[in-house]
Amino acid sequence: MSFADSFLNARVAAEYAPKIIAGMGVTVVLALCVIAAGLLAGLALAVLRAMGVRPLNWLIVFAVDLFRAVPPLVVIVLLYFGLPAAGVTLPGFAAAWLALSLVLMAFAEEIIWAGITTVAKGQWEAARALGLRFLPCFVLVVLPQALRLVIPPLVNRTIAVTKGTALASVVAVPEILGAAQAGVSFSFNPTPLTLAALAYLALFLPVVILGRWVERRWHVR
């Protein structure tokens, strides 16, 4: 069998392309849900942390450390296969979404927090001197600057986490990789995997290139 017959087989490609394209839809929806939840939660935690309530901060730091230290696949597996024992049975999509969102939340919180602490005390003092109270000071002066500062690392980390949507194939979510694996097994031909790789590249390559552009545009030395 020639390389093309094996990896670029038109007949097999035509047969399994629909499933893979459907999988692309699932991947996109999952990724968007993760980005929304993860970034919002991360921002919320960072703001909470800025309020300076000691015991709350310890909790936040612990949660963030937890989801930065444990591999995302382990979290997904734990939520999907472990929770039913506690009476909570999440469908695969929900388990993958929750796990990846928690991971993104943890990283986002750290990144945003680092930005907040970088927008040094000088800003705080200046704003206070102008008579602004904590909340307006924080929201109008510190946060905007912090966010501008952290956009490059935040974008990069978000891209890295959303690629984890491929892990959802392990918990029976009908996304690209799962469809490809079935195709390879039924047809004894690796073309579905080639299609899967192309599908992922079609989805993420533009995003990576966008990330590069964002980095260059927003980079603050």
Partner 1 sequence: MPRVLLAGLLAATLALPAFAQAPQPPLRCAVDGTFAPHAFPDGRGGVQGFQVDMFREVARRLGRELTVDSASFSGLIPALNAGRYDFLCAPVTVTRERAEALLFTEGYLWTALQFGIRRGTPPIRSEEDLRGRTISVNKGTPYEQWVTRNAERLNLTLLAFDTQPDAVQAVMAGRAHANLSGNTVIRYSASRTPLFVADWVLPGTQLHWGAPFRRDSGALRNQVEDALACMKRDGTLARISERWFGDRPGPDQAENIIFPGYGPPDLPGHDATPQDPRCG
Partner 2 sequence: MFADAFLNAEVLAEAWPLLRMGLVQTVLLSLLVVPVGVLGGLLLALLSLARSRALRWAVAAWVDVFRALPPLVLLVLVYAGLPFAGIEVSAWGAVAIGFFLNTGAYYGEILRAGIASVPTGQMEAARSLGLSRAHALRLVVLPQAVRNVLPDLLSNTLEVVKLTSIAAVVALPELLFQARQAQSLSYNATPIMAAAAIYFLLLWPLVRLLSRLENRAPQRTT
* 167 counts as binding partner 2 under rule CB under 8 A: yes
Stretch of 35-43, 52-60, 132-140, 205-213 contacting partner 2, by CB under 8 A: 205-213
Smaller CB distance to partner 1: residue 15 or 215? 15
- Residue 89 binding: pick among partner 1, partner 2, none (C-beta 5-8 Å cut-off by kind): partner 1
Measured CA to CA in angstroms, residue 103 lies from 61, 129, 214 at distances of 13, 38, 22
Per CB under 8 A, contacts with partner 2 among 171-190 are 176-177, 180-181, 184, 189-190
* 6 counts as binding partner 2 under rule CB under 8 A: yes
Identity (one letter) of the amino acid at 32? L
Long-range CB pairs of 140-148, under 8 A, 24+ apart, other chains included: 142/50, 142/116, 143/47, 143/116, 145/115, 145/119, 146/112, 146/115, 146/116, 146/118, 146/119, 147/112, 147/115, 148/218, 148/220
Per CB under 8 A, contacts with partner 1 among 182-211 are 182, 184-186, 188, 190
* 3 counts as binding partner 1 under rule CB under 8 A: no
Helix, strand, coil shares of the chain as percentages rounded to 5? 85, 0, 15
Distance between CA atoms of residues 153 and 212, nearest Å: 11
Stretch of 31-39, 48-56, 107-115, 168-176 contacting partner 1, by CB under 8 A: 168-176
Smaller CB distance to partner 2: residue 54 or 216? 216
Interface with partner 1 (CB under 8 A):
81, 84, 89, 91-92, 170, 172, 174, 178, 181-182, 184-186, 188, 190
